[in-house]
Chains A and B, each alone.
Chain A
């Protein structure tokens, strides 16, 4: 190989037998016997190589909320979290409901260059739920938007949802639904259950999610289009999606790291760091979500990374903003909940954190199995390492992590995006 090639020496793809990955020209040029690859050497011994992670659900806050996050700081957090591509949700200010705004976000991502920032377009103008945004213009823009979502709000009008599902078929788009029946969740603050009654916090009932998921899978079936369900949080939604898939309905689904780990009991502290939408649910929901991710009913882990400035969380519960950071902790939570529990092996984890999310959103060049010739989007992790979460050290602009002080397993060590190192020895390459 030429002097420009890089070798990840003795790394174990998917935790299997160690090999050398030779990276050149932005692709995996060779996979050879450990110790035999030529080029600039990066030590991969005792480490696992996975395809670079893809996050179909982040909030990078730019334009409009740069006090919470920017495309640059969010990209840095994403790279450190092992991601090579992230989808940026549309609820910015202005809303990403035109080709102009999605192109702006796309360009900002290119300038930073640490990950591919793929804009999500709004389904309706201003997330208002009434008029379809110019979905076609966003699809044909330089950002080539394929995923559309009013995330933060539900496309609650059944007729609008039907038309959106139909319309995006013209360019193989997908509607990513934030499933929340608005009339059932007026002023909702936490999971509706015995605890919400005790704490005096207005309940966010499971049925408000499940009724929309049920309606939407039937709409997707009726118009034969693609639906993606954002942040599935209840056992009932899992049942509906499993049923829909068994019928051949084109539905995919994601679950967040926090819904795989944290329960509503944390809300008893009234600490708004645990305030998130959809809310933290019960132990039974967590068990169902993990099982669904394991059997593939749920396709992807997606962070719903939602940065907020300190003052929006340093207040009383009702006044606080919804949302949690996720990019820098997602991999470790996945290890804790899915690998350590034996529910997923490394190949399956790669499927849920890279392959399937890339496919859902058409993230070109991402989510390929680690074979010769594919773009070198690679995440190298140390499965044996553990670390203590200290939000003050995060590269995200915000600090609202619910895992503060926790010791988590698994560390991202090196990341390559299109053959270029973005993270080396756990630190950003630039």
Chain B
């Protein structure tokens, strides 16, 4: 694996390798060894064209725990300025000798361009591109599901997961649908028809407009952030109507099987897609998702930048 651009690029073996590596790395860092020397002398650049402190910090902690040098490069989004800045920035990073570039960009496909346009040599990690994908989010979600609903190993065969909310604009949904399919789980996307992409019936998942009907038959539900501004473009009539029909409140939580868990990629819109009491309930695993995000990003950087030496293996 040279780059991580799409969850769809992972087969079941490479996905499980990332999850297993993350589990190993998590256990090491739990055992008070906060730092591994694995990526000493390597440079990881966080190239963020879109403001996302949470994701950037998660990658930064991951890289630092592997002893990499981390450069944070926060650039203005290039969508207005004709985008020369992506290329120019890439050439600058190349001159600095970046071994890996972690990129967040508002334009779908920007990581693909960075990886394929010939601007840089290093590995590219997609940390969220436009409305396309966010593969490390899907990996950390899979890691969380595996921990809670399986024994922490193997794939997710037979697991049933509902993904609810603004599927149309969600990179988290796209990556999750692809990775869950690869890992043998069955996803159902749930949203008003306006917030489902044209052609969603060709996706490897089920589609429903009715959340109440779906909830009793899933092992986990992922609530997606719904921006209230979508209302202006007539995707839904009002915040109240949206949350009445698609929000996860206490009544709806009661429809879930007892073992089912609730995920959210954050940041949450409390009162919109999720009510405050559900967000704070014991079935919600958002804090774990954040912690698992660091382990997953460690694993991805670890595997992309040369994997494990023999010494490293012994250290584990």
In contact, B108 and A314 (Cβ under 8 angstroms): no
Given that A317-B107, A317-B113, A319-B107 are known contacts, is A311 also in contact with B198, CB under 8 Å in the complex?
Answer: no
In contact, B108 and A194 (Cβ under 8 angstroms): no
Chain B neighbourhood of A1, CB < 8 A: none
The complex places the Cα of A316 from the Cα of B132 at a distance, in Å, of 13
Binds B, one of A196-204, A291-299, A387-395: A196-204
Chain A proximity of B230: nearest CB distance (Å): 13
Whether, in the assembled complex, B316 has its beta carbon less than 8 Å from a beta carbon of chain A, the answer is no
The complex places the Cα of A198 from the Cα of B108 at a distance, in Å, of 10
Chain B neighbourhood of A202, CB < 8 A: 131
Chain A neighbourhood of B83, CB < 8 A: 315-316, 318-320
Chain A proximity of B138: nearest CB distance (Å): 14
CB closest residue in chain B, given A267: B109
Query: Which listed residue, A189, A198, A199, A316, touches B86 by the CB 8 Å rule?
Result: A316
In contact, A269 and B198 (Cβ under 8 angstroms): no
CB closest residue in chain B, given A318: B107
Looking at chain B's contact residues, is the secondary structure mostly helix, strand, loop, or mixed? loop
In contact, B79 and A319 (Cβ under 8 angstroms): yes
Interface centre among A202, A271, A311, A319 (most CB of B within 10 A): A319
How many interface residues does A have (CB within 8 Å)? 26
Interface residues of A in 136-174 (CB under 8 A from B): none
Whether, in the assembled complex, A239 has its beta carbon less than 8 Å from a beta carbon of chain B, the answer is no
Binds A, one of B156-164, B199-207, B261-269: B199-207
Whether, in the assembled complex, B64 has its beta carbon less than 8 Å from a beta carbon of chain A, the answer is no
Chain A neighbourhood of B198, CB < 8 A: 192-194, 196-197, 203, 205
In contact, B87 and A315 (Cβ under 8 angstroms): yes
Whether, in the assembled complex, B78 has its beta carbon less than 8 Å from a beta carbon of chain A, the answer is yes
CB closest residue in chain B, given A319: B83
CB closest residue in chain A, given B113: A316
Given that A205-B198, A316-B78 are known contacts, is A199 also in contact with B116, CB under 8 Å in the complex?
Answer: no
Extra A-B contacts (20), CB below 8 Å, given A205-B198, A315-B78 = A189-B108, A197-B168, A198-B199, A198-B203, A200-B129, A200-B133, A200-B171, A201-B132, A270-B112, A270-B113, A270-B116, A271-B113, A271-B116, A312-B82, A315-B83, A316-B113, A317-B107, A318-B83, A319-B79, A319-B107
30 chain-A/chain-B pairs, Cβ below 8 angstroms: A193-B199, A195-B199, A197-B198, A197-B203, A199-B108, A199-B132, A200-B132, A200-B174, A201-B108, A201-B132, A203-B198, A270-B108, A270-B109, A271-B113, A271-B116, A311-B82, A311-B84, A312-B82, A315-B83, A315-B87, A316-B109, A316-B110, A316-B113, A317-B110, A318-B106, A318-B107, A318-B108, A318-B109, A319-B81, A319-B83
**Chain A residues proximal to chain B, CB less than 8 Å:** 189, 192-203, 205, 269-271, 311-312, 314-320
